[in-house]
């Protein structure tokens, strides 16, 4: 498995050879920030196009086909349209908070996105409390959503924001319990270390039944965390027009729209990292030739393949199940997922203490 730290260390040495160390670090931070923003934008475009095509496939349609071959330029046309649309000012809104809200949402999304370990040596933020930081960073997004609903001075926006707040705060518990189950198994909070522990097998397969249960709970809770169907009640078009971003237009709405899709990729990326080995290839014990062939595939290819598989799975959920009521959403979390997650965590502790895992 190629280690990208060889390249990053070489770049650092080249920079400090002709500039002060502080300036070199500043240049590296700016370059990394630009790379993250570019990857963020590219992933958003890919995800929007994928959503349209997957939706069309499940509904026996073709999806966008007219702009570009197979509709590939449709998303770029939509991005251009969004950039040139007027941002309408709301008369009785709290101007400062109204304009601040979408940037808080996008900031939380970018901070979480920066934590994803794409390849060995290609982690922007990798320290001993990586999972804790990721959970903390992702939870900031709810502040932006609540601000958007309240500052818009619109009853539909406020109702959507309240629904979203209750839903996201509730389902963060199940996400935390699922991740904590794997933390107990690995005894570390560092994302790169969790990936390294899966070199001889992904935790979904070698973590026994608790790992599989945690994976299922994580997928359900992650889907609810990003307000996607069947948990998209905060944006229920039939009753709330658009939910918490009803009053937003132009690029302000575009920021909410982009953050929703990239948050879906972040949820999938965390699942791929924690349960499916991250950048680690698929190894089957006893099949040495197969394992060696899998090692030739770059780690970042493995990571994106696993993440997009989870994305496709979550899109399948959205376009298959009907929308739930708000009481059903909260009942599912507090009466089913949280108790099951707590029992599952206890079961994993017993397995680890008595060394019953593979």
Cα(274)–Cα(192) distance, rounded to whole angstroms? Answer: 10
Put simply, whether the predicted model's pTM sits higher than 0.85 gets the answer yes
**Do the Cβ atoms of 75 and 49 come closer than 8 Å?**
yes
Does residue 146 fall inside a structural domain? yes
pLDDT per residue over 6-25, tens digit each?
888 888 888 888 888 888 88
- Here the tokens at position 113 are 């996105």
Q: How many domains does the chain have?
A: 1
Within a domain: 232 = yes
Q: Does 312 reside within a domain?
A: yes
Does 217 fall in a domain?
Answer: yes
Whether 358 maps to a domain, the answer reads no
The reply to whether 257 falls in a domain is yes
Residue 285 lies in a domain: yes
Euclidean distance between CA atoms 38 and 41, whole angstroms: 5
Task: For 61-107, write each residue's pLDDT tens digit.
Answer: 988 888 888 888 998 898 888 888 888 878 888 889 998 999 999 99
pLDDT given at position 310? 94
3-state secondary structure of 342: helix
Residue span of the structural domain in which 123 resides: 5-353
pLDDT at 241: 66
Handedness of CA 190, 112, 37, 48 (dihedral sign): positive
Q: Can you give the pLDDT at residue 165?
A: 86
Structure tokens at 106: 């996008």
Residue 131 lies in a domain: yes
């Amino acid at each position: 498995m190629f280690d990208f730290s060889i390249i990053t260390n070489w770049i650092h040495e080249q920079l400090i050879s002709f500039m002060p160390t502080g300036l070199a670090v500043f240049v590296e931070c700016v370059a990394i920030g630009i790379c993250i923003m570019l990857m963020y934008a590219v992933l958003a475009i890919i995800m929007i196009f994928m959503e349209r095509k997957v939706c069309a496939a499940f509904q026996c349609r073709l999806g966008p086909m007219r702009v570009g071959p197979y509709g590939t330029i449709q998303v770029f046309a939509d991005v251009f349209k969004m950039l040139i649309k007027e941002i309408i000012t709301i008369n009785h809104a709290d101007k400062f908070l109204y304009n601040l809200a979408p940037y808080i949402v996008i900031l939380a999304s970018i901070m979480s996105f920066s934590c994803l370990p794409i390849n060995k040596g290609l982690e922007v933020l990798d320290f001993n409390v990586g999972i804790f930081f990721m959970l903390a960073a992702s939870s900031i997004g709810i502040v932006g959503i609540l601000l958007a609903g309240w500052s818009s001075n619109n009853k539909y926006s406020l109702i959507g924001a309240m629904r979203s707040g209750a839903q996201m705060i509730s389902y963060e518990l199940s996400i935390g319990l699922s991740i904590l189950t794997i933390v107990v198994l690995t005894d570390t909070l560092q994302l790169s270390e969790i990936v390294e522990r899966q070199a001889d097998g992904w935790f979904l397969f070698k973590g026994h039944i608790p790992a599989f249960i945690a994976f299922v709970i994580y997928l359900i809770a992650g889907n609810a965390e990003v307000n996607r169907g069947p948990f998209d009640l905060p944006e229920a078009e039939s009753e709330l027009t658009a939910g918490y971003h009803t009053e937003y237009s132009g690029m302000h709405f575009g920021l909410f729209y982009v953050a929703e899709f990239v948050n879906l990729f972040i949820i999938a990326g965390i699942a791929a990292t924690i349960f499916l080995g991250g950048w680690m290839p698929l190894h089957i014990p006893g099949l040495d030739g197969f394992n060696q062939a899998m090692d030739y595939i770059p780690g970042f290819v493995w990571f994106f393949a696993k993440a997009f598989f989870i994305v496709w799975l979550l899109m399948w959920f959205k376009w298959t199940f009907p929308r739930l009521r708000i009481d059903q959403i909260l009942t599912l979390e507090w009466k089913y997922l949280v108790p099951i997650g707590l029992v599952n965590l206890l079961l994993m502790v017993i397995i680890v203490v008595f060394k019953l895992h593979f």
